[in-house]
A and B are shown apart, each in its own frame.
Chain A
Amino acid sequence: DAKTTQPNSMESNEEEPVHLPCNHSTISGTDYIHWYRQLPSQGPEYVIHGLTSNVNNRMASLAIAEDRKSSTLILHRATLRDAAVYYCILKNPLSGRLSSPGSQGNLIFGKGTKLSVKP
Chain B
Amino acid sequence: DGGITQSPKYLFRKEGQNVTLSCEQNLNHDAMYWYRQDPGQGLRLIYYSQIVNDFQKGDIAEGYSVSREKKESFPLTVTSAQKNPTAFYLCASSTGLAGLYNEQFFGPGTRLTVL
- A residues near B33, Cβ cutoff 8 Å: 105-106
- A107 cross-chain contacts in B, Cβ below 8 A: 98, 104
B56-77 interface bits toward A, Cβ cutoff 8 Å, 1 = contact, 0 = none: 1111000000000000000000
Interface bracket on B: 20 to 34
Distance in Å from the Cβ of A39 to the closest Cβ of chain B? 10
Distance in Å: Cβ of B45 to nearest Cβ of chain A: 5
Q: Which of B13-21, B36-44, B78-86 contacts A (4 or more CB under 8 A)?
A: B36-44
Answer whether residue B25 sits at the interface, using C-beta atoms and an 8 A cutoff. Answer: no
Mark A1-33 against chain B: 1 for CB-CB distance below 8 A, else 0. Answer: 000000000000000000000000000000010
Q: How far does the alpha carbon of A43 sit from the alpha carbon of B91 in the complex, in Å?
A: 8
B56 and A104 contact, CB distance less than 8 A: yes
The reply on B112 being an interface residue by CB < 8 A is no
User: Would you call the interface of chain A mostly helix, strand, loop, or mixed?
Assistant: loop
Distance between Cα atoms of A39 and B90 in the complex (Å): 13
Q: Are B59 and A43 in contact (CB-based, < 8 A)?
A: no
Question: Do A32 and B99 contact each other (CB < 8 Å), given the known contacts A105-B48, A110-B42?
Answer: yes
Interface size on A, residues (CB 8 A): 28
User: What residues of chain B lie closer than 8 Å to A91, measured between beta carbons?
Assistant: 98-100
On whether the beta carbons of B56 and A101 are closer than 8 Å, the reply is yes
| Interface of B toward A, CB cutoff 8 Å | 4, 31, 33, 35, 40-45, 48, 50, 56-59, 90-92, 94, 96-101, 103-109, 111
For the complex of A and B, list the 9 residue pairs with the smallest distance between their C-beta atoms, beginning with the closest: A105-B97, A43-B106, A93-B99, A93-B100, A109-B43, A109-B42, A46-B103, A102-B59, A106-B45
CB pairs A–B below 8 angstroms (20 shown): A32-B99, A42-B109, A43-B91, A44-B104, A44-B106, A46-B105, A49-B103, A93-B101, A102-B57, A102-B58, A104-B48, A104-B56, A104-B97, A106-B33, A106-B97, A107-B104, A108-B42, A109-B42, A110-B42, A111-B41
Known: A43-B109, A44-B106, A46-B103. 6 other contacts (CB 8 A): A43-B90, A43-B91, A93-B99, A93-B100, A109-B42, A111-B40
